[in-house]
Amino acid sequence: MSEFLIYIIERRAEIFNLLFQHIRLTAFAVIFSIILGVPLGILIKHVQKLNKPILGFANIIQAIPSMALLGISIPILGIGSAPAIFMVILYSLLPIIKNTYTGLSNISPQIIEAAKGIGLTKTQVLFKIQIPLSLPVIMAGIRVSAVTSVGLMTIAAYVGAGGLGYLVFAGIRTINNYQILAGAIPACLLALFVDYIFSIIERLVTPISLQASEIMKRKELEDKRKKEKIIIYVVVAIALIIIGTQIIKLNIGKKESITVSSLMFTEQIILGNMVADLIEANTDLNVERKLALGGTQIVFQALERGDVDLYVDYTGTMFASLLNYAPTNDADFVYNIVKRDMKSKYNIETLAPFNFNNTYVVAIREDTQKIYNIKNISDMRTASKDLKFCGTLEFMNRADGIIGLTNIYSLNFKDYVAIDDAPRYIALDSKEVDVITAFSTDGLLKKFSLITLEDDKKFFPPYYAVPFIRTETLNKYPQIAEILEKLGNLLNEETMIELNYQVDELQKDPKEVVREFLTENKLN
C-alpha cells in the first residue's frame, strides 16, 4: 500500500489534471443530457404519438455497446471531446426521458383539473404545477444519468479527450496495477461524490410537506436545507472554476500549434512523446498530444480529416493493411510505394524512416517450444491443431495478419482469440493461450522470457517506423522533417526494446523515459 501511495504522490500533478478533465467532460455531458432529456420527456407526455419512437430510440442506444457507438461517431465528429461527450449524452438520455415522463404521468388528474379550474393556461399548469410536483422523480433519473456518466467518460481517453480513463488504459497496456488504480479510484470517488451532490439536489426540489415527519420537524428540515444549499453553491462554484481554468489554459497565450498522435501501445506512446518533445525543443510550436488513440484505421482517419497533423506508423501496415497491396519483403519497394500513394491519394507526406524494423513476430513459451520442438513458424504446422492462438484485434482482420499467416504456413489452430495490448501476454504466461502475435521490439517479450519464432518463409513485410504528416503542415513547418530525421538515425531495434522494457517492466513513465533518452543524446 505504501508503494501505491508513493506512486500517487509522484504522479499527483498528472492525476489531478486528468481528474479536472474528467470533471469538465462529465459536466458538459450531464448538462446537455438534461437540456435534451427533460424537454423530450415533456414532449412525449403531451404528444402520445411520439412516445414509442422516442423511447424506442433511447432504448436502442442503450443496447449499442459504448465502444461501438464511440467508433461510429469518430468519422462524423472526429477525435477529442466531441465524440466522447456525444456518446455519454446519448447513453444518459433514457433514464432522464423515462423519469420525466413517469413523473408527469403520475400527477393526480384532480390536481390538474383544479389548476385549470382556477384559470391557469397549459403552460402555467406545466411550469407551476406539473414540473414542480414531478421534480423529485425527474431528479432521480438525472441522478442515475450523472453517476453513469462518470463511469462512461473513462472511455473518452480512447479518442484523445483525456480524463481518468487515460490512466486505466495506460495501466492495462503496461500491466501497471498502480496506474490502473490511480485512474479507477478517483473515478469511483468522483461517482460517489456526484451521487451525493445530486441526492442533496433531489431533496432540495422535493416539497418540505412530503418530507416532514414526526422524527424530523419542518423547522429542522428548513435548517438542513439551508446547509445543503450552501454545499451546492460551493460545489457549483468549484466546478465553474475548474471548467473556466481548463478553458483559459486552452486559449490564453496560445502559440501556433500542431497535434501529434500515436497508436495504442507502449512503443507508439514513446515515439509520440519523442516527436512532440523534439518539435517543442527545436521550434516555437506548441504541440498538443493526442496519444494512444487506437489502431491505424482510427489514427490515420484522424490525420486525413485534419484532427491530427503528425503521427508515426509502420511501412508494412500502410502497404498491406491500408493500401491493400500483397505483402512483400522488399523494404525499399514498400517505402517508395507508400510514399507515392500517401501523397497522391491522401495528400500526406511520408518522411524519412526511422532506423528500426518493428515487424510482427510469433511468440511462444519455452515449455511449448520443448514439447513440440518448434524453432520456426513452419514447425507449428502439425502442432497448431493443439494450440490456441491469440492476436490483436487488428492482426485478426488483416491480410498481413492471421489471414495470410495461416494460408502461407498451412496453420490450423485449435482456437483463435483476439486480445489487445498487454493482456495477451498475461494470457500466454498463464497458459490460457499457447501462441501470440507480438512486435519484434516489444519490451514484454523480454519481461516474460518468450521465444520468438523465425519467419522462415519471409511472410511478414518490413515494418519500419515512419512519420506521416499532412502536406499543408509540412509546407508550413518544413523544419519538422529535418528535426525528425536526426531522431530516426538514433533508433534501432535494440534501443527500442530497451525503451519499451523500461516502461513495460520497470514501470517508468513514458515521458520520463523519453526525456532521459533525448537528454542522453543531446536532442532536447
Strand pairing partners for 467? 312
Look at residue 451 in the predicted model and tell me its pLDDT: 92
Kindly state whether residues 376 and 483 are assigned to the same domain: no
**Domain at 480, CATH number:** 3.40.190.10
Residue 214's pLDDT band (boundaries 50, 70, 90)? Answer: very low
- Residue 212 confidence (pLDDT) above 70: no
What DSSP string describes 164-204? Answer: THHHHHHHHHHT-HHHHHHHHHHHHHHHHHHHHHHHHHHHH
Kindly state whether residues 329 and 402 are assigned to the same domain: no
Longest dimension (CA), the chain: 92
For β-strands 257-261 and 286-290, DSSP reports them as parallel
CB 233 within 8 A of CB 281: no
Q: What percent of the chain has pLDDT over 90?
A: 36
pLDDT in tens, 456-504: 998 888 899 999 999 999 999 999 999 998 888 889 888 998 999 898 8
Contacts of 337 (CB under 8 A, 6+ apart): 319, 323, 325
Q: Cα separation of 21 and 166, whole Å? A: 11
pLDDT in tens, 405-464: 999 999 999 999 998 877 889 899 999 999 999 988 888 888 888 999 999 998 888 899
**Domain at 401, CATH number:** 3.40.190.120
Cell of 499: 525503451
Sign of CA dihedral 127, 130, 132, 136: negative
Give the residue among 101, 112, 84 at the shortest CA–CA distance from 41.
101
What DSSP string describes 63-101? Answer: HS-HHHHHHHHHHHH-SSHHHHHHHHHHHHHHHHHHHHH
pLDDT in tens, 315-338: 988 998 888 888 788 899 999 999
Give a yes or no: residue 248 inside a domain: no
| Cβ burial 133-148 (10 Å sphere, 16+ → b, else e) | bbbbbbbbbbbbbbbb
**Domain at 23, CATH number:** 1.10.3720.10
The CA R_g of the chain, rounded to the nearest whole Å, is: 28
Count: domains in the chain: 3
Cell of 251: 486559449
Residue ending a domain, among 168, 190, 212, is: 190
Sheet arrangement for strand 388-391: 415-418, 388-391, 435-439, 360-364, 451-453
DSSP, res 326: P
Kindly state whether residues 174 and 97 are assigned to the same domain: yes
Kindly state whether residues 105 and 177 are assigned to the same domain: yes
Contacts of 378 (CB under 8 A, 6+ apart): 409, 456, 457
Give a yes or no: residue 251 inside a domain: no
Kindly state whether residues 429 and 332 are assigned to the same domain: no
Give a yes or no: residue 8 inside a domain: yes
For β-strands 415-418 and 388-391, DSSP reports them as parallel
Sheet arrangement for strand 286-290: 286-290, 257-261, 310-314, 465-470, 348-350
Sign of CA dihedral 471, 477, 479, 483: negative
DSSP, res 508: -
Q: Cα separation of 183 and 167, whole Å? A: 5
Kindly state whether residues 377 and 437 are assigned to the same domain: yes
Q: What are phi and psi of 375, to 5 degrees?
A: -120, -30
Give a yes or no: residue 477 inside a domain: yes
Q: Name the residue with higher pLDDT: 232 or 463.
A: 463
> What are the distances in angstroms from CA 251 to CA 24, 26, 254, 257?
16, 20, 6, 12
Cell of 109: 388528474
Give a yes or no: residue 419 inside a domain: yes
Q: Cα separation of 190 and 165, whole Å? A: 13
Kindly state whether residues 262 and 411 are assigned to the same domain: no
| Cβ burial 259-271 (10 Å sphere, 16+ → b, else e) | bbbbbbbbbbbbb
Q: Cα separation of 433 and 119, whole Å? A: 74
Kindly state whether residues 368 and 337 are assigned to the same domain: no
Residue 80's pLDDT band (boundaries 50, 70, 90)? Answer: confident
pLDDT in tens, 369-386: 999 999 899 999 999 999
Kindly state whether residues 269 and 340 are assigned to the same domain: yes
CB 145 within 8 A of CB 394: no
Residue ending a domain, among 141, 174, 190, is: 190
Kindly state whether residues 26 and 115 are assigned to the same domain: yes
Give a yes or no: residue 136 inside a domain: yes
Residue ending a domain, among 142, 158, 190, is: 190
- Taking residue 106's Cβ as centre, other Cβ atoms within 10 Å add up to 10
Q: Cα separation of 390 and 295, whole Å? A: 17
Look at residue 219 in the predicted model and tell me its pLDDT: 62
Kindly state whether residues 389 and 479 are assigned to the same domain: no
Give a yes or no: residue 247 inside a domain: no
Give a yes or no: residue 238 inside a domain: no
pTM score, whole prediction:
0.75
Instruction: Estimate to the nearest angstrom the gap between the alpha carbon of 178 and the chain centroid.
Output: 19
Q: Name the residue with higher pLDDT: 135 or 260.
A: 260
pLDDT in tens, 42-68: 999 888 888 888 888 888 888 888 777
- Residue 254 confidence (pLDDT) above 60: no
First to last CA, the chain: 36
Q: Cα separation of 94 and 483, whole Å? A: 51
pLDDT in tens, 194-204: 988 888 887 77
| Selection from 55-69, 217-231, 252-266, 305-319 with the highest mean pLDDT | 305-319
Kindly state whether residues 37 and 174 are assigned to the same domain: yes
pLDDT in tens, 337-372: 999 999 999 999 999 999 899 888 999 999 999 999
DSSP, res 322: I
Torsion from C-alpha of 361, 364, 365, 370, nearest 10 degrees: -120
Look at residue 200 in the predicted model and tell me its pLDDT: 83
Strand pairing partners for 453? 362
3-state SS track over 374-420:
CCEHHHHHHHHHHCEEEECCCHHHCHHHHHHHHHHHCCCCCEEEECC
Give the residue among 460, 449, 364 at the shortest CA–CA distance from 404.
460
Average pLDDT over residues 104-133: 84
State which residues form the domain around 312. 257-357+463-520
What integer best gives the mean pLDDT of the chain?
A: 86
Torsion from C-alpha of 428, 433, 434, 440, nearest 10 degrees: -50
